[in-house]
């Protein structure tokens, strides 16, 4: 939802060149949401799903931080500033998600088994 709000802010602003990053993050989040909803993570065992979520969070936090700095510093219209502020909020949200996912990955790697971190939570 936050990515969609940022996308709308950038469309309405002078910083419309930044609209592609929030749109791609929004679509990627939808794809992963539906993949987990339809339990595709259980059907496709070859792909380690928490790692893909981890990489998405890392790249999203870096990209949102960079375009937020550019939008706030370069453009003076309100929509660009709002998109930048929401971008900083998204950076924090993705950093928190990055931290949580990283802890799950470390726990999984320390256990050295072939089970997923979701299965360890239920134990």
Buried b (16+ CB within 10 A) or exposed e, 40-74: ebeeeeeeebbeebbebbbbbbebbbebbebbbee
55-107 pLDDT, tens per residue? 889 999 999 999 999 999 998 888 899 999 999 999 999 999 989 988 888 88
Q: Which of 44, 86, 87 is nearest to 62 (CA)?
A: 87
Query: Other C-beta atoms within 10 Å of 11: how many?
Result: 15
| φ and ψ at residue 17, rounded to 5 degrees | -70, -15
Q: Enter the pTM of the model.
A: 0.77
């Amino acid at each position: 939802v936050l990515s969609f709000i940022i996308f709308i802010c950038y469309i309405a602003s002078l910083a419309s060149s930044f609209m592609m990053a929030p749109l791609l993050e929004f679509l990627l989040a939808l794809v992963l949401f539906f993949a987990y909803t339809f339990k595709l993570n259980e059907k496709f065992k070859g792909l380690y799903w928490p790692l893909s979520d981890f990489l998405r969070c890392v790249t999203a936090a870096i990209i949102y931080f960079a375009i937020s700095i550019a939008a706030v510093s370069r453009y003076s219209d309100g929509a660009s500033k709002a998109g930048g502020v929401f971008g900083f909020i998204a950076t924090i949200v993705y950093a928190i998600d990055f931290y949580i996912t990283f802890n799950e990955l470390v726990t999984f790697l320390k256990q050295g088994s072939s089970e997923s971190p979701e299965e360890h939570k239920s134990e």
